[in-house]
Amino acid sequence: MHDTLLLFGATGDLATRYLFPSLTHLLRDRLLPPDFRVVAVGRTEHDDAGFRDWLRERVSDADSRDGAAFEDLLARTRYHALDLQDADAISAALAQYADRPSVSYLSTPPNLFAPACRGLKQAGLLEDPSRLVLEKPIGHDLASAREINATLKASLDESRIFRIDHYLGKAPVQNLLALRFGNTLLEAVWQHRWIESVDIVVAETAGVDGREGYYAGYGALRDMVQNHMLQLLALIAMEPPASLDADSVRDEKRKVLRALRPMSADSAGVDSVRGRYGDGVVEGTGVKGFKHEREVETFVALRAYIDNWRWSGVPFRLVTGKRMPSRATEVVVTFKPVSHWLFDRPRSEQALPDRLRMRLQPEEAIELRLMGSLAAPEWGATELQPLSLDLAMSPTPKRRIAYERLMIDALKGDQTLFVRDDEVEAAWRWIDSVSEAWATAGTPVEDYPAGSWGPSTAASFLPNVISGNGKRGA
């Protein structure tokens, strides 16, 4: 395990909210090497002591329980104020840390990846076996992603590049693999003959406050669908890998992403909805709408199709939005009805299909809805009613922050939960087809009130999430 972490963007929101707390927990639990050190790099002028004082004021997780570990981490941290566009300055300041293998973590906008890589390369900090970690987004379209990937490969090989999608570090997301490949019951029916549709929903109550400039350039399609949601889709739809090593898993995910049917202008009006939240009420609090001169969406609903043998004709409905009524990430698999209905009550057209709901956050739960007669009186035993097999975890076990798992894997060199270059490019290829379809078809950005489930035209994309009264469906 490498014992040096160079953290670029150390004064950013991600670092203070997640990265430094994650390192504190890992240090407290003795999961880091004895000589572990952090080299923090940011634009704000601080000396080492000033940065430590600044960080103490901002890391909320430095409570009494973790106080000693946090102070230990601060003592191991050096700070450098650098212009991240100046490769020569980066090289001059950081070359002193090339005395042992390191992990460089770029928690920066993508336009800084290239100069940071050049500076690290000049400083000798990307030589084998040193590694490089990058935060999303990897570009804003296929062309820019390819350009970034080419820049990275000019400095080090793919086996030492770690592209983070923090969703992959979440324990409930990893559980999707366990459910898929650890249970005969599911794997036997995990295909188009038995599955009617798959829904992937990522709903957020938060808005774009403080990220208006970023969101104006990316929107929900590029910010959420391109990485988080397509990674979830790939995990759900992938073929069984030969093993759970990094390349076997990522090979199968890439095949799924490459099999996504490109969206066309003719289908954009049927298979997609764009929205932007206006004024409204979220969780009892009035909020202002997102206004910007650019036509950018904060809500997107898509119907995707995977053109391969396993998933032929099965719609994957992807829905994500800001300022939704509640925060939730879940996957809902709806199965096809039985081939011949024998019962008088309910009639076949009123029978509810079997459904598997996997709730990933905020609480973890697995719910399987079946039809049965257990709740009926003796003289009405053939009257079927929905029965729910609820495997909710109560209380929800304490989970590590996703970044804790990913940091350990990067320091160890395990790429299984990181995204490979060809995955990124395959995802962007499909996202570009959606963007081009929208541009050609003139797909509008529809308004929706904050606290609702998006534009009214998106109701057909949410059959398993909302009911007629706008509440979460059964």
Would you name the residues annotated as active-site residues? 228
51 SS3 class:
helix
Evaluated on CA atoms 327, 330, 336, 341, the torsion sign reads negative
Quote the tokens at residue 286: 């009035």
List Cα–Cα distances, 249 to 12, 158, 225, 245, 253, in angstroms.
32, 16, 20, 6, 6
Give 239's contacts (C-beta < 8 A, 6+ positions apart): 252, 255, 310
Q: How many other C-beta atoms are found inside a 10 Å radius of the C-beta of residue 341?
A: 15
| Whether 454 contacts 460, CB under 8 Å | no
Placement of tokens 């898509």 in the chain? 302
Measuring CA to CA, which residue among 88, 80, 66, 67 is closest to residue 38? Answer: 80
Q: Is the dihedral of CA 335, 339, 343, 346 positive or negative?
A: positive
DSSP strand pairing (328-335 vs 315-321): unpaired
Is residue 225 within 8 Å of 233, Cβ to Cβ?
no
| Cα separation values, 375 from 173, 341, 351, 383, Å | 34, 19, 16, 9
- How would you class 389 by CB atoms within 10 Å of its CB: exposed for 0-12, middle for 13-18, buried for 19 or more? exposed
Chain mean position to CA 369: 27
Are 16 and 48 a contacting pair, CB within 8 Å?
no
Quote the CA–CA distance of 286 and 439 in Å, as a whole number. Answer: 33
CA proximity to 474, closest of 338, 343, 336, 334: 334
